[in-house]
Amino acid sequence: MTPIIARPLTRQDFAPFGEVIDPAGAAHYPINNGHCERYHALAAAEAIGPEARVLISLARSQPYAMPLTLAMVERHPLGSQAFIPLSPRPFLVVVCHAGNTGPETPLAFLTAPGQGINYRRNTWHGVLTPLAAAQDFIIVDRGGAGVNLEEFHFPSPYNIHLPPKPAG
């Protein structure tokens, strides 16, 4: 298996695949007579095709053991897909650039606590992957007619590792 080491999730590194949903460094302004700070337009939901609509769902996902054996990725050709954690715990994000015959070599990111992500339409990505404990997420994605899920099974799986913990 080819090993891949997860790296910290940053807006710049993730930009080819979608948006990082994180208030740190984001544009914001006060609302509700100054009692609330709005971090505006952190991601753009995409929904195309017949009867397309944007859905908001909740998911409770069980943790995965590390290292993670990655044998399959998926993509959604008709809409984006966002995962926003409801707890301040990191999770693993796996994405791939699209190649001529399918996804290229995966990249792995480790979110900072509280960061969420929005995969752009047609982005190859791994499944929702919490790490240490069950975790709840808000999901924003597309509903409507048409097939909005493609899966790709790698001929040889990858082995995803978390970065080493700093000494001390």
Q: What is the pLDDT of residue 167?
A: 67
The answer for residues whose C-beta is within 8 angstroms of residue 86's C-beta and 6 or more apart is 135, 136, 137, 138
Query: What is the per-residue pLDDT for 148?
Result: 95
Q: Residue ranges of the domains in the chain?
A: 2-161
Would you state the pLDDT for residue 25? Answer: 87
DSSP 165: P
Cβ(18)–Cβ(79) below 8 Å: no
Residues of the chain with pLDDT under 70: 167-168
Determine which helix (DSSP H) or strand (DSSP E) holds 83, and give its type and residue range.
strand 81-85
E strand or H helix at 140, and its extent? strand 135-143
**Is the separation of the CB atoms in 106 and 99 below 8 Å?**
no
- Judge if pTM exceeds 0.85: yes
Report which DSSP code applies to 54: E
What pLDDT, in 10s, does the model give residues 95-126?
999 999 999 999 999 999 999 999 999 999 99
pLDDT value for 164: 84
Map residue 166 onto helix, strand or coil.
coil
CB 61 within 8 A of CB 146: no
How many Cα atoms within 13 Å fall on the side-chain side of residue 18?
31
The fold of the 2-161 domain, in CATH, is Jelly Rolls (2.60.120)
Identify the pLDDT of residue 145: 94
Helices then strands, counting H and E runs in the chain, come out as: 1, 15
Cα-based angle 16, 20, 24 (whole degrees, multiple of 5)? 135
